[in-house]
Amino acid sequence: MTGRTPRLGRLRRRVPEARAGRPAEVRGGRPRRRGAQPKVVALGGGMGLSASLTALRRITGDLTAVVTVADDGGSSGRLRDELGVLPPGDLRKALAALCGDDDWGQTWSRVIQHRFHSRGDLHDHAVGNLLIVALWEQLGDHVQALDLVGRLLGAHGRVLPMSAVPLELQALVKGHDPQRPDDVDTVRGQATVALTPGEVQSVHLVPHDPPAVPEAVAAVLDADWVVLGPGSWFSSVIPHLLVPELLDALTETKARRVLSLNLVPQPGETEGFSPQRHLEVLGRHAPKLALDVVLADEAAVPDRESLTEAAKRLGAAVELAPVARTDGTPRHDPELLAAAYDRIFRMHGRRIGPWR
């Protein structure tokens, strides 16, 4: 990465709050009440993490997102291949989800999500991806740059990459080639794994023991609550459990751990999976990880007894709540999901405060 300019050096020195892990004060947002809000860390990537963050920012101002960095498709993949940087797309989506509901937040959310449409090299690049990568090159520091973007947006929380090196997701897939339905092949790349027509048996990362971002480890260890999911199970949720230092932190933290299940199986990646099979797969990838609560939409669980038994094997209780949108689309409703998290934090939490 290149050296930073004097102007950006001055900006860098103006973000001590974000660097310390405290959310920036939000332009037009509600005031923060220090000491009364739970410290929440949400792990994942893509639209699933965005759904969680959009809900969680409604109930706490002490929020950190830890984001997977294995994306190799679209604008992120092109920037990764050309510049050797972390894929910025999931980080951008997390920052957009943390933008406030006021005019400032919603304007910046739309700006960083905006994609160019042209016949040239800028086609399909997202503004936020280019902004993040530019600041990485100027500052030479992934975390500092993301903190600075968060401050610009007035984000209700902090966004961190789970690792400081770009990762490749690899999967063992049975029937990836429809002509050989019984063969197990190694499939490389998050974009390919997510769309495989076969049955994903397991996933791993390359490099196999990537270093975790220290700030992400510290956030997990200092949290009151850790939320894992929803999201693409093999390509966004489980990868966090494959970073050794991050898994150690998740195992050792005194925080309560919530696993938020998807509303429907994902075509390709988890086609035909029951809710309990999602838990079984996660348990195979991280057998020492215990959970406290499994959250699922009540309409998405046809066999409650089997899900309860699978959750017990991970040390967790099951909480069923209506969290889906009422328009029939398989998406989480931010207000309903926020209400479900709020209830879980109050019913199962060790440290309860009037954070709402």
Distance CA 300, CA 104 (A): 36
The span from the CA of 162 to the CA of 172, in Å, is 23
How far is it, in rounded angstroms, from Cα 356 to Cα 353? Answer: 9
Q: What pLDDT is recorded for position 36? A: 60
Q: In the chain, where do the E strands start and end?
A: 40-44, 63-67, 158-161, 168-174, 184-188, 199-206, 225-228, 256-260, 293-297, 317-321
The pLDDT value given to residue 171: 95
| Domains along the chain with CATH numbers | 36-169+198-348 (3.40.50.10680)
CA 104 to chain centre: 23
Residue pLDDT, tens place only, 160-173: 999 999 999 999 99
State how far the alpha carbon of 7 is from the alpha carbons of 138, 172, 183, 262, in Å: 10, 48, 56, 44
Nearest CA-CA partner of 345 in 286, 258, 220: 258
Q: What pLDDT does residue 319 have?
A: 97
Q: Give residue-wise pLDDT tens across range 237-286.
A: 999 999 999 999 999 999 999 999 999 998 878 988 999 999 999 999 99
Position 143 scores a pLDDT of: 97
Q: Which of 189, 216, 224 is nearest to 203 (CA)?
A: 189
| The two three-digit tokens of residue 301, written as one number | 């669980």
- How far apart are the C-alpha atoms of 14 and 4, rounded to whole Å? 15
Sheet harboring 63-67: ordered strands across? 158-161, 63-67, 40-44, 225-228, 256-260, 293-297, 317-321
- Ranges under pLDDT 70 in the chain: 1-36, 349-356
> What pTM does this model have?
0.87
Element (H, E) at 16: helix 16-19
pLDDT value at residue 348: 87
How far is residue 146's CA from residue 76's CA, in Å, rounded to a whole number?
16
Helix (H, G, I), strand (E, B) or coil at 277: helix
